[in-house]
Structure 1
Amino acid sequence: MSLHKISRSLLLASLALAPTAAFAHPGHDTSGMLSGLLHPLMGWDHLLAMVAVGMLAVMGRSKPAWQLPLAFVGFMLVGAMLGINGVAIALVETGILLSLVVLGGLLAVGRAGYLSVMTLCCALFGMLHGNAHGIELPAGSAASSYISGFIMATIVLHAVGYLLASKCADKWQFLALRVSGVAIAGTGLVAVFSAA
């Protein structure tokens, strides 16, 4: 299969994941570790954002920028703890959709520089993703178990993004990352307009 066909298929698949409702989070099971493990895999917004962070950690670098996934995971935990304690971040759902636009946009334009800005973006978006779940979780062991599963799945998705980006042949890596970025940002834009 040619790179053009793969790129087109990736873009079409991403657009097919666009939401039909404004809120992607309410109504899912939040009981236990298995639910926490599965949600990032089943929630298209989380899946795309987390894979994008893993890809950004590789983009244009001789050594991976591990601070990007670490910032995302660390602040995702902070956001979840805030939510569990009743602190809801304003416009969290819109922020999550915008995380796709920004993270995908960074991949699409191929900006490997400005590591401190990208780390800040990952921290902010991680906090939003965590807060969206923390506000719907009851305090206690069920919440701890769910969050543990959510964090493990997030780390796995970061690793998937890292592996996908690093396994591309050098001459194709830049193009593959840009195409993936366009697909992720495009999906985010469609979702933002669908939610409006």
Structure 2
Amino acid sequence: MRPYHKATLFIAASALSISASAHIGAQSHSHNSFIDGFLHPLLGMDHLAAMVAVGLWSALAARRAGPDLLWGPLGFAALLLVGAVLGLQGVAVPAVEPMIAASLLATGLLVATRLRVPGIVAALGVGAFAFFHGAAHGYELAGDGQAWQTLAGMLLATVLLHCAGLAAGWALRQRHVWLARAAGAGVAAFGGALLLQMT
């Protein structure tokens, strides 16, 4: 199977998870183990879309293979963890849910436009949104004796979703770029719709 066919199948499979439970609008989650933490980003459409989109954008916007590919994913994972730690400590972070929705809108637009920015800007930009994803998880896990195991599972799933997005984006860089742009537009529309629901 050609690489772009695999990428097409991956993007289509990701889209099917739209009926899965998302973090936004949910009242609570049962996170109490490494496995629960690992599965949550895979089953929540907001997390899945944001994390895959970061990988897609990183691959589509990179000038070449190498470290340029990793700025966005590393920034996202690092600040996701920072936000989660602060959430666990009960630090109040305003506008968590709107910022999670805005992260979908922003990352979707980045994928659709293939906007190129310096690596540190990419890391801080997507990382700023990841901070709010992490804070939301930290609040949910506060007081949980296995919080660190759960966060470890979430972080591993996050890295794997970034890698999947990177692989799909790299396969689509030269051919069928329209598919990646369409996926980005879909993620942006999803984020926009969530923001409208909150107004």
Shorter-normalised TM range: 0.7 to 0.9
1:110-141 deviation line (CA, Å, top 9, x unaligned): 21234443222211111111100101213464
Pair 1:76–1:92, CA change in 2 (3 A): same
For structure 2, list consecutive stretches of 5 or more residues without a partner in the other structure: none
The answer to whether the Cα contact below 8 Å between 2:23 and 2:44 also exists between their aligned partners in 1 is no
Under a length normalisation based on structure 1, what TM-score does the superposition of the two structures give?
0.85
The amino acid of 1:53's aligned partner reads V
Q: Does 2:198 correspond to 1:180?
A: no
Higher relative contact order structure (alpha carbons within 8 Å, sequence separation ≥ 6): 1
Residue of 67, 73, 92 corresponding to 1:69: 73
Range 89-98 or range 161-170, more displaced: 161-170
Distance across 1 between alignment mates of 2:148 and 2:164: 24
Q: Is the 8 A contact 1:17 1:187 kept in 2?
A: no
In the alignment, which residue of structure 1 is the partner of 2:35? 34
Question: TM-score, normalising length from structure 2?
Answer: 0.83
Root-mean-square deviation over aligned CA pairs: 2.6
How many Å separate the matches in 1 of 2:198 and 2:21?
Answer: 8
The unaligned stretches of length 5 or more in structure 1 are none
CA contact (8 A) 1:36 1:148 kept: yes
Runs ≥4 residues deviating over 6 A:
18-22
Aligned with 2:126 (options 122, 128, 139):
122
Query: For residue 95 of structure 1, what is the aligned residue in structure 2?
Result: 99
Give the whole-Å Cα distance in 1 for the aligned partners of 2:54 and 2:133. Answer: 13
Q: Which amino acid aligns with 2:44?
A: G
Q: How many residues align?
A: 186
- Matching residue's letter, 2:105: V
Contact 2:32 2:144 in 1 (8 A): no
Given that residues 56 and 169 in structure 2 are in contact (C-alpha distance below 8 angstroms), is that contact kept between their aligned partners in structure 1? Answer: yes
The alignment-based identity, stated in percent, is: 32
Once the two structures are superposed, the pairs formed by residues 1-196 of structure 1 within 5 Å of their partners are 13=15, 17=18, 23-61=24-62, 62-63=64-65, 64-139=68-143, 141-168=145-172, 170-172=174-176, 174-196=177-199
